[in-house]
Amino acid sequence: MAANAQAMPAQNAQPLSWFTRVAYGLGDTSCNVVWGAMGILTFFYTDYAGVSPAIVGSVMLLSRCFDGFSDVIMGLIVERTKSRWGKARPWILWTSIPFAVSIVLMYMVPQGTETMQFAYIFVTYNFCTTVCYTALNLPYGALSALMTPLSHERDMLSLVRMALSPLGKILSVSATLPLIKIFGDDQMAWVKVMSIWAVVAFLLLLICFYKCEETVKLEAREKGDKVPVKVGLKAIGTNKYFWLATGLWTFQATIALFTGTILPYYCKYVMMDDTYFSFLFLVETLTTVIATILICPTLLKKFGKRKMSLYGIILAFIGHLIFVMVAPLDPDWLMFSCFVRGLFFAPLNSVIFGFFGDVVDYTQWKYHVRPEGLVFSGGSVGNKIGGGLVSAILTGLLTMAGYISSAAADIVQPQSAVDMIVSIYCYGVLIIWAAVILVLYSWKLDKIYPQIVSDLAKRASRGEM
């Protein structure tokens, strides 16, 4: 790290202040006000707006295809953005108001024909996720690689980001359902609560924009021509570690979406208490936050991000397997599964974006280009498509099992639907954990990273990419 700092005096190689780290993390707190709500959005559509699971699943799967395409476009736009604030930072300001408005629009589903509801959900869902969220979150992710050239500092930014991001989920999940009850427990209650979260999200984005400056300047890039699109795409398309990092991001987001989507149904129709979900989500989320703040920095220093993530996921797999084998229908053991997931998922969750920062360095080292926007946007494609597939699979399985959609609070589901909900929660999680273990086992970049740092420092001293 010292060599890296000395060889690149034009870059800010000093540790970032905690104020800056927190301000950066608050950006993801804001993003997760809406992304956390994605986990209970299906529940809102089926049980408050009265939309069938088939329509919801179709919209989300189709939307993810557009969403993934928009990620690549946004990555190219970021690479070509020039402003007095840099190339990634200004998008946080420019998209803050549209993002806040889009959150509320998703919950204003009109009553009418299935065709009308499909059209409205498709338009508002894509306005929020495909347009606003993409234009905000992708530059936000790339910003970390532009704030500091140091891998450890990027890991710390990721750690603080993932410690604070659950606060947005707590607002949009744990606090939402109780407030829905207070405001009338109907669709309009959702609109009112989401309006509150929209204002909160907007204010947090302004704090993030104000404090997080782009300081990484590469002389070779500043004086050179823009990297051709084909060259940038080839650099990530043939990049082994880009695909492994994309797999990690996909599974990291998938497990959150998977459990967040199925748990409300599990609590309502298996535990017979839909308010129990808010408590379980709070237990899992606070466990993750506490572990991220108090445990992960020590583990990161001792093991590095790859090893600590791998060990954590193995223990998460074992913990969930114990829950499945012992008492999957017991509410206390259900809480145990949430606690275990929150505790052992924290290591990977805390440094997930640190993996992408290292991929940016690796891409520059191997291909002599540094496409921060493309790396983060390309990784997000897999994340969003994977999320769309999960939503489509879950809603498809519920439909196949005979799930009944209704805005009525006292609907009774057939036993086949209840059994399907139990099976999805018990075994789907194990499949995802196994996939994450395989990806982490294949990650070997940490072994050659010191050489990458040394070589990039030498190139920078010569003004080369």
Tens digit of pLDDT for each residue in 315-368? 999 999 999 999 999 999 999 999 999 999 999 988 988 898 899 889 989 988
How far apart are alpha carbons 208 and 392 in whole angstroms? 34
Q: What's the confidence (pLDDT) of residue 168?
A: 83
Pick out the chain residues at pLDDT < 70. Answer: 1-13, 37-39, 64-65, 67-68, 218-227, 384, 388, 406-410
The C-alpha angle 231, 235, 240, rounded to 5 degrees, equals 160
Structure tokens at 289: 């936050």
Q: What's the confidence (pLDDT) of residue 4?
A: 38
pTM reported for the whole predicted model? 0.71
Q: What's the confidence (pLDDT) of residue 260?
A: 78
SS3 label, residue 406: coil
Q: What's the confidence (pLDDT) of residue 13?
A: 62
Residues 6+ apart with CB under 8 A from 105: 124, 127, 128
Q: What's the confidence (pLDDT) of residue 362?
A: 92
Structure tokens at 280: 């379980």
Q: What's the confidence (pLDDT) of residue 19?
A: 93
Q: Which domains does the chain have, with CATH numbers?
A: 17-212+225-456 (1.20.1250.20)
Q: What's the confidence (pLDDT) of residue 6?
A: 35
Q: What's the confidence (pLDDT) of residue 222?
A: 54
